[in-house]
Structure 1
Amino acid sequence: MKNFLLLAIAITAFISCKETPASDQVAAEFETLEGEFIYLADAAVLKGDTFIYGVTLDEKMHELATIIKPLQRDEFDMVPVIIKGELHSKAAGEEGWDEIVTIKEILEVKAPTGEAPLKLEAGDKLKTEGGSLKVESGK
């Protein structure tokens, strides 16, 4: 009886000493990506210094789109973000970006830096003055 009790305690101690939970292993499989995010009606894009990925249109993407909305200066403004995501290739025969990222976690959202994007309309002319770019309306 003592041996059985001792064996049961040893097995319990061995099982309870497992170090890494499964959730940590899953999180380690996702890639951390930093880039500028934009969402327009039916497409979302994450653009980094060395990559451009389409973004899966799912609940997490819509959550990120809601977070960046107040930070955008106009609807075409890209907002700097850091996310954890899962990369995969697009399905054969589908339209869109070759590489797709599915957002798993939103790590950080920053306000856009620099000047607002330059908007041009048909007939506008560009002029350079003192090293800066000016738009001369064609209307």
Structure 2
Amino acid sequence: MKKTILLLMLSVAIFSCKNSEEKNTETEETTVENVQKIQAYKGDFISSDGALVLMGPNYIYGVKRDLLSEGLSKQVAAIKKNDFDMVGVIVKGIVSKNTDKESEWEEIITITEIMRIADKPSEIDIKLNETEKKN
């Protein structure tokens, strides 16, 4: 009788430990998944005609409007020399599919942290030379 009770208690303990391990694994995976979504992005930020854009070497994202992105826009506006200047920034954010029907961006970034803003506008990749018209 004692052996049966001992065996029964031992099996209950083993099954309950196994169940709690599965729950901990699910929690860890969910946490790791959320942390992986927040990444640092280095690129040029432009705010023109109400559009906020972050352009990197191999991506272009629309920027979701919120208090943080509006603050970044104001800081960049103080550095820009004209409306079309872009300013180098490093931000942390989450990139997601765009659900806003009015916006044409496929993916948008929600900025979670502003890490660095350049002191001057980015250099222009292509310069257009204007020539004088001769009469």
TM over 0.5: yes
Counterpart position of 1:79: 87
CA drift of 1:69 comes to 1.2
Counterpart position of 1:109: 117
Q: Secondary structure at the match of 2:130?
A: strand
Alpha-carbon spacing, 1:49–1:67, altered in 2? closer, same or farther (3 Å)? same
Contact residue 44 and residue 122 of structure 2 kept, 8 A: no
Matches within 5 A, 1:21-100: 29-91=37-99, 93-100=101-108
Counterpart position of 1:14: none
Q: Which runs of 5+ in 1 are unaligned?
A: 1-24, 119-132
Contact residue 43 and residue 57 of structure 1 kept, 8 A: no
Query: Which amino acid in the other structure matches residue 46 of structure 1?
Result: L
- Counterpart CA distance in 2 for 1:68 and 1:117 is 21
CA drift of 1:103 comes to 0.7
Structure 1's consecutive aligned runs of 4 or more residues displaced over 4 angstroms after TM superposition are 25-29, 115-118
Counterpart position of 2:16: none
Query: Which amino acid in the other structure matches residue 114 of structure 1?
Result: E
Aligned length: 102
Query: Which amino acid in the other structure matches residue 129 of structure 2?
Result: K
CA drift of 1:73 comes to 1.6
- Counterpart CA distance in 2 for 1:113 and 1:85 is 21
* More helix per residue: 2
Larger Rg: 2
Counterpart position of 1:135: 130
CA drift of 1:28 comes to 6.0
State the percentage of identical aligned residues.
32
Q: TM-score, normalised by structure 1?
A: 0.62
Structure with the bigger RCO (C-alpha within 8 Å, sep 6+) is 2
